[in-house]
């Protein structure tokens, strides 16, 4: 009998606890602000638009010769003013649950019928791929694909060259939007994939950034926003892996530049905080692309919610479903944009491109090459033995110092050699025609295709070299493969130098 009473009390307490929990955490429904606007005399409840300035193409866009990478949709017909005039006041009900918001994959289509929720800022075609799509070079590419277990993983190994054009990338445009009274997601589906724009009415999944099933879900929790995180206009550049060095440069940086080019200079700029993101921002500030007072750093630990009357976002289009064949990044447009803005449009003359860079990861660390020294010695001896005097200096790169020095060094690269890893990101600063050799590995996480995509779209001569070992430990290079590749490269450089020295 006693036992039974205890059991009843425990059950009752549990029910009460669950009830209290739901009472506290359940969010109220968001109020329907649409009725307010419908019944108010037009204009009265509009935001005073003269808080925003008129818009013009930023100077740096001309200076770095990148204006051909945009469509300037907004600029053509004075659409900026027209767009601002459509904003209604923000909802006063932060901290509520929205009623079944729509998932928007195609913003072009959506804003045609929902012009009171935002507008299209830019809608630009990507630069076309080179035809035929370039392939990596290797001693035997077929054989190398099998040896590195990437024969099915890499589109470059899997697809016929004549079909690659449709895969790398599998999207055709960039679309930049301004969403009214919108929030920036801090990672509802996956902590490494923040940045989705959402409102009470819609969640804008402009591109499929994760294969997880929640990756295309609507966000219905309208968060509370601290006053300091409420903005008038906010550029939202944050995305996959925030400030991770291999990802910020080739993925978030081009988005940031696309937004800085097309959104007004009055907008604040939400950028990942820390590491390479901070140092690349220093460079953007030095190059006059953005001013420090506009920067709103996004701290990956605090992850506060941000709100703005206009949130700007840019992504590739159309939206891709599933991971298979879904390459939407590292295209020629983005690679050219990043290269021209951070390095310049003009290529240094060949006499100034005299660096043979060997990337070295710390001894004993993941993917450090056990035979690093053998590679350096081989390189020195091949260069020494050349019949034509070569103006090439070997430089071992260990990522010391500021990224502005790395940019200056890689701008002078004639050849870049290294294992797969973040150091390879610096190929972004190297001129078209640079020889790039990436050493692969065999086990653990599949050897990613990203640097191959980047390098080929930067119009380098990209080589894959066989290696073996695990993603998370030191690896071995296949010295026979490397010797072949390096001799081939030096041979080509000898010919190139002879040709360029002819009057
Ligand atoms: C709009 O803002 C401008 C500048 O802040 C101000 O001069 C003007 O009086 C405002 N207009 C209205 C109707 O509030
Ligand atoms: C600017 O870039 C375009 C496209 O790449 C090129 O055709 C043009 O020559 C460049 N202009 C200048 C002044 O360098
Ligand atoms: C290359 O040549 C230089 C100068 O002739 C010499 O100092 C150096 O030891 C040589 N290096 C190798 C690896 O043969």
Domain range annotation of the chain: 24-127+170-333, 141-167+347-501
- The pLDDT value recorded for residue 40 is 37
Q: Which residue shows structure tokens 């921002």?
A: 281
pLDDT digits (tens, 9 = 90+) for 221-251: 999 999 999 999 999 999 999 988 889 999 9
Q: Say yes or no: CB of residue 384 within 6 Å of ligand 1.
A: no
Average pLDDT, the chain: 90
CATH of 141-167+347-501 among 3.40.50.360, 3.30.1280.10, 3.40.50.1220, 3.10.129.10:
3.40.50.360
Structure tokens at 288: 């006059």
Distance CA 503, CA 498 (A): 10
Distance CA 441, CA 436 (A): 17
- The pLDDT value recorded for residue 343 is 96
Q: Say yes or no: CB of residue 50 within 6 Å of ligand 1.
A: yes
Q: Say yes or no: CB of residue 44 within 6 Å of ligand 1.
A: no
The mean pLDDT value for 453-470 works out to: 98
Residue 275 has pLDDT above 80, yes or no: yes
Instruction: Compute the distance from residue 50 Cα to the ligand 1 centre, in Å.
Output: 7
Nearest ligand to the CA of 52 is 1
Q: Which of 345, 457, 459 has most ligand 2 atoms within 8 Å of its beta carbon, as the pocket-test mutant?
A: 345
Instruction: Compute the distance from residue 294 Cα to the ligand 1 centre, in Å.
Output: 23
3-state per-residue secondary structure call for 273-324? CCHHHHHHHHHHHHCCCCCHHHEEEECCCCCCCEEEEEEEEEEEECCCCCCC
- The pLDDT value recorded for residue 18 is 60
Residue 350 has pLDDT above 70, yes or no: yes
Question: From its phi and psi, is residue 100 left (phi > 0), alpha (psi between -120 and 50) or beta?
Answer: left
- The pLDDT value recorded for residue 50 is 47
Structure tokens at 282: 């220093």
Q: Which of 379, 382, 384 has most ligand 3 atoms within 8 Å of its beta carbon, as the pocket-test mutant?
A: 384
Instruction: Please state the pTM of the whole predicted model.
Output: 0.90
The mean pLDDT value for 319-330 works out to: 81
Task: Kindly list the strands in the beta sheet with 435-439, ordered across the sheet, starting from the edge strand earlier in the chain.
Answer: 393-397, 355-359, 413-419, 435-439, 461-465
Q: Say yes or no: CB of residue 65 within 6 Å of ligand 2.
A: yes
pLDDT digits (tens, 9 = 90+) for 24-52: 557 888 875 544 333 333 444 455 544 45
Instruction: Compute the distance from residue 65 Cα to the ligand 2 centre, in Å.
Output: 6
Instruction: Compute the distance from residue 79 Cα to the ligand 1 centre, in Å.
Output: 21
Tell the residue nearest (CA) to atom 2 of ligand 2.
65
pLDDT digits (tens, 9 = 90+) for 106-155: 999 999 999 899 999 999 999 999 999 999 999 999 999 999 999 999 99
Q: Greatest CA separation found in the chain?
A: 107
Tell me the backbone φ, ψ of residue 417, rounded to 5 degrees.
-130, 135
Which 8-state DSSP code applies to residue 131?
A: S
């Amino acid at each position: 009998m006693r036992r039974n009473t205890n059991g009843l009390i425990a059950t009752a307490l549990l029910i009460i606890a669950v009830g209290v929990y739901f009472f506290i955490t359940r969010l109220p429904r968001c109020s329907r602000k649409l009725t307010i606007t419908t019944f108010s005399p037009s204009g009265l409840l509009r935001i005073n638009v003269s808080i925003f300035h008129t818009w013009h193409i930023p100077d740096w866009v001309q200076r770095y010769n990148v204006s051909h990478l945009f469509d300037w949709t907004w600029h053509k017909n004075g659409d900026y003013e027209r767009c601002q005039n459509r904003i209604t006041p923000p909802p006063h009900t932060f901290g509520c649950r929205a009623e079944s918001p729509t998932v928007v994959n195609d913003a072009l289509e959506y804003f045609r019928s929902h012009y009171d929720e935002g507008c299209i800022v830019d809608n630009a075609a990507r630069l076309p791929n080179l035809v035929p799509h370039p392939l990596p070079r290797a001693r035997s590419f077929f054989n190398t694909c099998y040896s590195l277990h990437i024969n099915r993983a890499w589109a470059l190994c899997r697809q016929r060259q004549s079909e690659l054009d449709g895969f790398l990338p599998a999207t055709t445009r960039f679309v930049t939007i301004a969403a009214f009274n919108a929030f920036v997601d801090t990672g509802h589906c996956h902590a490494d994939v923040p940045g989705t724009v959402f409102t009470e009415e819609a969640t804008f999944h402009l591109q499929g950034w994760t294969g997880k099933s929640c990756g295309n879900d609507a966000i219905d929790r309208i968060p509370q926003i601290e006053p300091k995180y409420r903005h008038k206009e906010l550029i939202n550049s944050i995305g996959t892996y925030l400030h991770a060095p291999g990802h910020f440069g080739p993925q978030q940086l081009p988005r940031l530049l696309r937004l800085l080019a097309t959104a007004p200079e009055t907008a604040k700029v939400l950028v990942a905080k820390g590491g390479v993101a901070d140092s690349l921002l220093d460079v953007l500030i030095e190059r006059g692309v953005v001013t420090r007072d506009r920067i709103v750093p996004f701290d990956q630990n605090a992850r506060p919610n941000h709100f703005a009357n206009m949130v700007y976002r840019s992504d590739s289009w159309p939206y891709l479903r599933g991971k298979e064949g879904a390459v939407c990044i590292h295209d020629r447009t983005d690679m050219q944009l990043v290269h021209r803005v951070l390095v310049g449009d003009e290529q240094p003359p060949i006499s100034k491109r005299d660096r043979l860079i060997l990337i070295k990861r710390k001894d004993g660390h993941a993917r450090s090459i056990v035979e690093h020294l053998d590679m350096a010695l081989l390189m020195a001896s091949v260069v020494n033995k050349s019949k034509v005097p070569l103006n090439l200096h070997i430089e071992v790169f260990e990522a010391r110092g500021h990224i502005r020095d790395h940019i200056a060094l890689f701008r002078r690269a004639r050849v870049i050699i290294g294992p797969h890893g973040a150091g390879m990101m610096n190929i972004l600063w190297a001129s078209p025609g640079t020889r790039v050799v990436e050493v692969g590995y065999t086990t653990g996480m599949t050897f990613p295709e990203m640097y191959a995509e980047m390098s080929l779209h930067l119009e380098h001569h990209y080589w894959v070299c066989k290696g073996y070992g695990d993603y998370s430990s030191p690896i071995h290079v296949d010295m026979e493969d490397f010797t072949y590749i390096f001799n081939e490269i030096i041979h080509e450089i000898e010919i190139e130098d002879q040709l360029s020295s002819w009057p």
